[in-house]
A = this chain, B = another copy of it.
Amino acid sequence: MSGIAPWIDGGQVPLKRVPGEPVSIRADVFADGHDLVAAAVRWRHQDDGEWSSTAMTALGNDRFQGTFTVERPGTYRVTIRATIDRLATWARAVRAKLAAGQDVRLDLAEGAELISAAESRASGDDRTALRQWHRAVSQMAEMLTYDTSPSGTSPPRSTSPPRSTSPPRSTDPAQSASPARSTDPAPRSAACHPPTPDAVVGLVDDHELHAVAARYPDLEVATTVDAATVLVERPLAGCCSWYELFPRSASPDPTRPGTLADVVDRLPYVAGLGFDVLYLPPIHPIGTTNRKGRDNSPVAEPGDPGSPWAIGSPQGGHDAVHPELGTVRDLRRLVDAAREHGIEVALDLAWQCSPDHPWVTEHPQWFRRRADGSIAHAENPPKRYEDVVPFDFETDDWRSLWEALADVVRFWIAQGIGVFRVDNPHTKPLRFWEWLIATVRSEAPEVIWLAEAFTRPRVMEHLAKAGFSQSYTYFTWRNAKWEIEQYLTELTGTDLAEYFRPNFWPNTPDILPEVLQVGGRGAFVARLVLAAMASATYGIYGPVFELQEHEPRPGAEEYAGSEKYEIRHWNLEDPTSLAPVVARVNAARRVHPALRHNRTLRLQRVDNDYLVAFTKTAITDDGADVVLTVVNLDTRYPQSGWVDLDVDLLGLGPGTPLHAHDLLTDARYEWNGPHNYVALDPTVMPAHVLHLQRAVSHP
């Protein structure tokens, strides 16, 4: 056996799934010589005592594939068991010899022995049935023996043979008790007429015989290899929509900062937009030493609130709530209230401190010192982050540091938090994440981890391998059609699809991409639709997104007047808000199972380089749910073109009529098959999200 796929880093990396998703395993299975082989995928959930099994099917050229569906969160072990299928090899030989007019008497006797061996491994009804087949094959061998004509070299051919010679399934206990090797001389057909070749073939090829015997393979010639482990997380890990907001900007009163209680009041709005996850930037006390001012100024003015990522002050550290936001109890109230709206609250894990964090004095050994004894602040030369000091994860006292950080996670889990967004995980040791996520997952398997790493591809992949449930991506900067198509192919059509769950964000507090700076309303809608339709997990940073904030800090991708450094107030009633569009997008995701996974994404051809099109189909229900997304990437001008749908999508013939229902505009189109014209104006609506159905209904 070789060539197992998927096979991430030598099978060491678990495949990621949510309940209901399929796992397909492929391998080359072969034996020496001409023997036929059989292979099965076997799997076992961590809580199961028994293995389940499904036969692998031959894809040709010694390649086999087997697929099963995971059903419960937890870890599955998956193996491949390959055996030599002696019975199928025997049946093939008998067929070939009969076709060449050769004697098969000895072969039948040998087949009877094979069936007898399977019988001895079987139990219950199967054992009884195999015993009867054994008897039937033995008898046929004897009848050929009685035949004195040279039937071995030129057997008579019957024109209307009894094709099925399966013995009836008997549950007669008396018959079951008969000896396995029956010497019953009474033949099943008249002894004076030897069986025809077709009758022999009918018996040795009996489908049910082979199916029953295959359940009791000869394990002496079996090889079992580990193929994979599968980490199954709860459904939210595979499909969710995130909404990020700064609580201190959530005040309805422009004269005071927002609080966690204000966020409770904001919940109906967020739920109305249709989001599942409400993510809050760090809610902890903020340091004052080297506090940053507005627009990342190195000097804060009086009253500047500082960056929430400069965590810790005399009022507390990572397990405290900023007094201006409220209390830990307020957070629990928010968590509970959110749950009533079907929303989970996600917190930010930013493993760094302000110089005023209590740990800086309590645990000075957790921080790196400069040559002059001063504490090292964060830097990425020439960039300096004087308001932040990083942990020294490789300190001699690393065990107590790592445990303290795990305790922070445990603390917030105890407050009801089940989703964490992790800040810049790529600047901390990969081994730390492996340890932290495994440790917490063993205690709280429901926790979902999102890696906010915008870094090199191999490092982002490694974080996903280390256990993160979801990952930020390069989507934010993929704008051209070829870039988008290439990236979607990479994410859904390579090994990445097995372990890296992309989370698409059109914007973040750190990133106002150029397309949103200059593209206008059409760009916001296009990016929203692309993110939400292409990726089962996506998010926006609001309310700046739906309010289409687009002024950057000069020469930067950051927002001017960024909420990272100041408190803002937002007019959610702005009539130009994209809130209604966001709500329709999220409603489509809730209604259509096709949009809950990425593995069925297929690019569709459009003859216009500004139009990108892709479909998704449901992984269950025979793919009956089909959604086609078409987006105009030109933020200024209308674009039109012809979409060519895969003809095997929906099993479409060239003239099959289709209903296309636009989930964004509620428009309905009648299409005559897979070749269709689309036109999209960015100033009106730059995208179609079309639910496709065959117009011809099946009764």
Residues of chain A having any CB pair with chain B under 8 Å: 2-3, 9-11, 28, 30, 32-34, 61-62, 92-94, 96-97, 99-100, 102, 106, 109-110, 113, 370-372, 374, 379-382, 384, 426-430, 456-459, 461-462
List residues of chain B with CB within 8 A of the CB of A374: 106
List residues of chain B with CB within 8 A of the CB of A2: 9, 458, 461-462
List residues of chain B with CB within 8 A of the CB of A33: 426-428
List residues of chain B with CB within 8 A of the CB of A457: 61-62
| Residue from B370, B381, B456, B461 in contact with A92 in the complex, judged by beta carbons closer than 8 Å | B381
B32 touches A106 (CB 8 A): no
A382 touches B102 (CB 8 A): yes
| Residue from B100, B109, B371, B430 in contact with A382 in the complex, judged by beta carbons closer than 8 Å | B100
A61 touches B113 (CB 8 A): no
B34 touches A372 (CB 8 A): no
A30 to B382, CA, bound (A): 21
Top 3 closest pairs, chain A to chain B, by CB: A100-B382, A109-B371, A96-B381
| Residue from B61, B106, B109, B427 in contact with A34 in the complex, judged by beta carbons closer than 8 Å | B427
| Residue from B11, B371, B379 in contact with A113 in the complex, judged by beta carbons closer than 8 Å | B371
B458 touches A61 (CB 8 A): yes
A106 touches B381 (CB 8 A): no
A93 touches B381 (CB 8 A): yes
Between-chain CB contacts (< 8 Å), 19 pairs: A2-B462, A10-B11, A30-B462, A32-B426, A32-B428, A32-B429, A33-B427, A33-B428, A34-B380, A61-B456, A61-B457, A62-B458, A97-B381, A100-B382, A102-B381, A102-B384, A106-B372, A109-B371, A113-B371
Instruction: Tell me how far the C-beta of A87 lies from the nearest C-beta in chain B, rounded to whole angstroms.
Output: 15
List residues of chain B with CB within 8 A of the CB of A92: 381
A211 to B113, CA, bound (A): 72
Which of A97, A100, A458 has the most B CB atoms < 10 Å from its CB? A458
A461 to B34, CA, bound (A): 16
List residues of chain B with CB within 8 A of the CB of A427: 32-34
A106 to B375, CA, bound (A): 12
Instruction: Tell me how far the C-beta of A218 lies from the nearest C-beta in chain B, rounded to whole angstroms.
Output: 11
List residues of chain B with CB within 8 A of the CB of A34: 380, 427
| Residue from B9, B110, B370, B430 in contact with A371 in the complex, judged by beta carbons closer than 8 Å | B110
B462 touches A109 (CB 8 A): no
Instruction: Tell me how far the C-beta of A112 lies from the nearest C-beta in chain B, rounded to whole angstroms.
Output: 8
B96 touches A30 (CB 8 A): no
A217 to B322, CA, bound (A): 45
| Residue from B62, B97, B428 in contact with A459 in the complex, judged by beta carbons closer than 8 Å | B62
Instruction: Tell me how far the C-beta of A653 lies from the nearest C-beta in chain B, rounded to whole angstroms.
Output: 33
List residues of chain B with CB within 8 A of the CB of A3: 458
A184 to B14, CA, bound (A): 57
B30 touches A456 (CB 8 A): yes
A32 touches B430 (CB 8 A): yes
A461 to B381, CA, bound (A): 51
Instruction: Tell me how far the C-beta of A64 lies from the nearest C-beta in chain B, rounded to whole angstroms.
Output: 11
| Residue from B11, B62, B96, B384 in contact with A456 in the complex, judged by beta carbons closer than 8 Å | B62
List residues of chain B with CB within 8 A of the CB of A28: 458
B10 touches A99 (CB 8 A): no
A3 to B459, CA, bound (A): 12
Which of A30, A100, A113 has the most B CB atoms < 10 Å from its CB? A30
A382 to B106, CA, bound (A): 14
Cβ-closest chain B residue relative to A384: B102
List residues of chain B with CB within 8 A of the CB of A110: 370-371
List residues of chain B with CB within 8 A of the CB of A106: 370-372, 374
A374 to B106, CA, bound (A): 10
A33 to B432, CA, bound (A): 13
Cβ-closest chain B residue relative to A433: B32
A213 to B514, CA, bound (A): 43
